[in-house]
Structure 1
Amino acid sequence: MSEYQYYEFLAIDRPLDDGERAEVRSLSTRARISATSFVNEYDWGEFKGDPRRLMERYYDAHLYVANWGSQRVMFRLPCDLLDPDVVEDYCVGDGASAWVADDFLVLDFTSEDDAGEFDYDAESLLSAIIGVRAELAAGDLRPLYLAWLAAYGAWERDEDIFGREADAEVEPPVPPGLDTLTAAQRAFADFLRLDDDLLAIAAEASPPLEEAVGDPDDLASWMTRLSAAEKDRFLVRVALGEGTRVRMELLHRYRDDTAPALSRPARRTVADLLDAAARRRASPAPRAR
């Protein structure tokens, strides 16, 4: 089988200017490049750029797939919308990592499976997943937990990924709503090859989503409590092209202000989760009555 690699980058919060596009163009003469995107496919050869550097300097999202089983998605977010200390709890080796670059946090999620079949329409993948970035910015931590779970779930495919001491690792805080994922989160979980049985076991300790976010109708009432001057500043920023960033900031603040305190269930170990998933997988499905 011939080699195939697909690279895609998106600039969401701010388009690239002419100078930045020229800098990116120097890395590839045949990529499709605009002010908001970079797309290239390789059937031979290698991309000369460094995705980490491109994310730090220019782009807000990146997707990479190769037909030998390598998959990667990255997101860049302002640190004031996603606390690096919170993210650290969900990092696991190469499967889920993060670092700070200036005022931004870059999230990096990978999945490897050289035994899998490549049957993707690569150009449709990032558009299905990209909503996860805005959800994280608004304070929804489900994508981080999904990435953590998928990283340890890969241990069932490759027993050399972790040593036996990883059995005793304790899961990070379990966010609400794992049993009611958004479409973007479901696509993200599938991209990371997260096993459905493992997800179902993890969701048993996840509170219902409505208990965490309250009534969405309260958003309009909450908005009335913002000062006129603050609303004017938000409107000016929207008019200047920062609509996406303003939306993320408002939803993040709304979530912080209105989400009730939740009781935290006892945290499980990696062994607890993997063993329970294996038992669930081996159990016969209940018969329909």
Structure 2
Amino acid sequence: MGEYQYYEFLALDHPLTPGKLAEVRELSASAEIGVTGFVDHYESGDFDGDPRDMVERYYDVHLYLSDYGSRQLMLRVPQKLLPLDTVRPYLLDEQVEAWVSGDHLVLDLRSEDDDADWDEDDERLLLPLSALRDELASGDLRPLYLAWLAAVGTWERDEDAFDDDFEAETEPPVPAGLAALTPAQRCLADFLRLDPDLLTTAATLSPALAAPLAPQADLIAALPDPDKSSLLLRTASGEAPEVRLELLHHATPVPSPAPGSRTVGTLLDEAAVTRQRA
């Protein structure tokens, strides 16, 4: 008997054209396929498509699950709103990867745990996790730090996951608000099996998020007239989803993350102390 595997894709910005829909249908005879979604599962055999290629060409979000402990989330975000240079400090081996594809950056987040129990409710997580895309586009880097921290936590389960000198590595920039995560960020932390004690430890040096300095409407109104005219013209030309993400980026004041100061070893040691006190 083969392992159970679950694949789901979601197009958020634009529905698939008839031509692209026909291409996707060639990949699976069993999948449930629509102009915005693709769902397939296997109890034996494997999916003939390439999830990376499907996200690059057709979809904005992808969820993969298997009953042997694999979890994967892929997000496609316009690169001008989330540059690779911004993401690079949070990348960690195969567990937090990113690359540029055309005008987009693709983020690939994974968690592996052979001993984890299967939970059918995980198949309902793509929609709540898709909200992370808006957060990243707005400049909120907490999802990136959470993914890095979850990857660090795997070292406690498997000391062979990283090189021996890994514990001397310094954490990436620490975003504000780690002690007050959004629902999507809490969902991501659970999905990537982030140890709550490790998160509590990391959040001690994360300042609280300040209240917005002005309502979003005021921030948008303050944009230069040429920028507003350009955004309106693009909306009229069918780019409303892209414009929405850009407005989120302009109208969401997010403080710059603080430089990381703790080593991986320090974070893990302090999390162990927190765990013992509980």
Q: TM-score range by the shorter chain?
A: over 0.9
Q: How many residues align?
A: 278
Cα separation, 2, equivalents of 1:172 and 1:266: 5
Aligned counterpart, 2:212? 214
Give the alignment partner of residue 263 of structure 2, picking from 269, 275, 287. Answer: 269
Stretches of structure 2 lacking an aligned partner (at least 5 in a row):
none
Aligned-residue offset at 1:25: 0.8
Aligned counterpart, 2:275? 281
Aligned-residue offset at 1:3: 2.3
Q: Does 1:254 align with 2:251?
A: yes
User: Is the Cα–Cα contact under 8 Å of residues 73 and 109 in structure 1 kept in the other structure?
Assistant: yes
Q: Does 1:231 align with 2:217?
A: no
Aligned counterpart, 2:67? 67
User: Is the Cα–Cα contact under 8 Å of residues 139 and 252 in structure 1 kept in the other structure?
Assistant: yes
Aligned-residue offset at 1:231: 3.1
Aligned-residue offset at 1:2: 5.6
Cα separation, 2, equivalents of 1:228 and 1:91: 37
Aligned counterpart, 1:46? 46
Give the secondary structure class of the aligned counterpart of 2:239. helix
User: Is the Cα–Cα contact under 8 Å of residues 205 and 265 in structure 1 kept in the other structure?
Assistant: no
Aligned-residue offset at 1:23: 0.8
Give the secondary structure class of the aligned counterpart of 2:261. coil
- Could you tell me which amino acid in structure 1 is paired with residue 72 of structure 2? R
Give the secondary structure class of the aligned counterpart of 1:39. strand
Cα separation, 1, equivalents of 2:256 and 2:8: 39
Cα separation, 1, equivalents of 2:217 and 2:34: 36
User: Is the Cα–Cα contact under 8 Å of residues 75 and 107 in structure 1 kept in the other structure?
Assistant: yes
Aligned-residue offset at 1:20: 0.7
Alignment RMSD (CA, Å) = 1.8
Aligned-residue offset at 1:163: 2.0
Aligned-residue offset at 1:224: 2.0
Q: Does 1:113 align with 2:113?
A: yes
Q: Does 1:33 align with 2:33?
A: yes
User: Is the Cα–Cα contact under 8 Å of residues 94 and 110 in structure 2 kept in the other structure?
Assistant: yes
Q: Give me the identity figure in percent.
A: 53
User: Is the Cα–Cα contact under 8 Å of residues 6 and 122 in structure 1 kept in the other structure?
Assistant: no
Q: Does 1:92 align with 2:89?
A: no
Q: 1:173 to 1:42 in 2, by over 3 A?
A: same
Aligned-residue offset at 1:225: 2.0
- Please say which of residues 240-249 and 3-12 is displaced more in the overlay: 240-249
User: Is the Cα–Cα contact under 8 Å of residues 90 and 145 in structure 1 kept in the other structure?
Assistant: yes
Give the secondary structure class of the aligned counterpart of 1:45. coil
Cα separation, 2, equivalents of 1:41 and 1:253: 39
Aligned counterpart, 1:7? 7
Q: 1:129 to 1:260 in 2, by over 3 A?
A: closer
How does the TM-score come out when normalised to structure 2?
A: 0.94
- Could you tell me which amino acid in structure 1 is paired with residue 246 of structure 2? E
Cα separation, 2, equivalents of 1:273 and 1:144: 17
